[in-house]
Amino acid sequence: MTAGVSREEEPAVRIDPFDPSDLDELMEIENRSFTLPWSRESYEELWPLDSIRIWVARSGDELVGYYLLQSVGEESELHTFAVKPEFRRRGIGRMLLDHMIEQAKGRGTTRVFLQVRPSNTPARTLYGSLGFSAVGVRRRYYRDNDEDALVLRLELQ
Ligand X SMILES: CC(C)(COP(=O)(O)OP(=O)(O)OC[C@H]1O[C@@H](n2cnc3c(N)ncnc32)[C@H](O)[C@@H]1OP(=O)(O)O)[C@@H](O)C(=O)NCCC(=O)NCCS
Give the one residue of 88, 105, 107, 153 binding ligand X; rule: CB under 6 A. Answer: 88
From the list 104, 117, 96, 22, the residue with the least C-alpha distance to 71 is: 104
At 47, the amino acid letter reads W
Q: Name the one range near ligand X by CB under 6 A: 14-22, 48-56, 119-127, 130-138.
A: 119-127
According to the binding rule CB under 6 A, does residue 81 interact with ligand X? yes
Minimum CB–partner distance for residue 49 and ligand X (Å): 21
- The DSSP element (H or E) to which 92 belongs, if any, is helix 92-106
Neighbours of 19 (CB within 10 A): 10
Contact characters 30-69, ligand X, x per CB under 6 A: ---x------------------------------------
Contacts of 121 (CB under 8 A, 6+ apart): none
Q: How far is the CB of 51 from ligand X (least distance, A)?
A: 19
